Amino acid sequence: MSETTPTTPTPDQSAAADAERPHTGHGFGRVLVAVYGLLALAATGRSILQITEYFDRAPVPFLLSAVAALIYLVATYGLARGDRTSVRLATIALTIELAGVLVVGTWSVVDPAAFPEKTVWSHFGAGYGYVPLLLPIVGLWWIRRTARATAAADEAAPRR
């Protein structure tokens, strides 16, 4: 006779199942987290230098660089953690980042006098090889891809 009642997974089985689930910080996500972390460090260093040494030259652009650095830190954290709340936080950060790059990039091209010094997002991130423009697009794509994979894994998983 077979028993039809579901068994409760052991903590080891639950941990193994969680490790196999798609995660924003696994696979390609590790590269994404590393690039975001590097950009966060670069933007933070640049903004600290700009604000402490040259603030009077271009206060608004330099403060925008500091905001960009903060957003990169939040995105790095959210992507690395990968839990539902962190991914939502990363999604918000990446969306704000993309909007910021587009707005500041356009502003710096239309009114170059407003950006007498280069910042992370000025000229669409040209000083960083346009990585600030491409990275939020790639990040949002990755979040969407892992969300779909997570939903598929949840559907395929046996009910507990």
Q: How does pLDDT run across 15-42, given as a tens digit for each residue? A: 444 555 567 778 888 999 999 999 999 9
Are the CB atoms for 92 and 75 separated by under 8 Å? no
Are the CB atoms for 43 and 98 separated by under 8 Å? no
**Residue 8 located in a structural domain:** no
**Residue 10 located in a structural domain:** no
Note the pTM of the prediction, 2 decimals. Answer: 0.79
pLDDT in tens, 75-87: 999 999 989 999 9
What integer pLDDT is reported at residue 148 of this predicted model? Answer: 79
pLDDT in tens, 92-141: 999 999 999 999 999 999 999 998 888 889 999 998 899 999 999 999 99
What integer pLDDT is reported at residue 119 of this predicted model? Answer: 86
Are the CB atoms for 139 and 90 separated by under 8 Å? yes
What integer pLDDT is reported at residue 16 of this predicted model? Answer: 46
**Residue 20 located in a structural domain:** no
**Residue 136 located in a structural domain:** yes
Q: What is the DSSP letter of 72?
A: H
**CA distances (Å), origin 87, targets 33, 82, 84, 137, 143:** 12, 6, 5, 15, 7
In the predicted model, is pLDDT for residue 144 greater than 90?
Answer: yes
In the predicted model, is pLDDT for residue 160 greater than 80?
Answer: no
Round to whole Å and give the CA distance between 42 and 128: 10
**Residue 132 located in a structural domain:** yes
Round to whole Å and give the CA distance between 160 and 148: 21
**Residue 114 located in a structural domain:** yes
What integer pLDDT is reported at residue 154 of this predicted model? Answer: 59
**Residue 91 located in a structural domain:** yes
**Residue 16 located in a structural domain:** no
Number of compact structural domains in the chain: 1
Domain that holds residue 120: 25-151
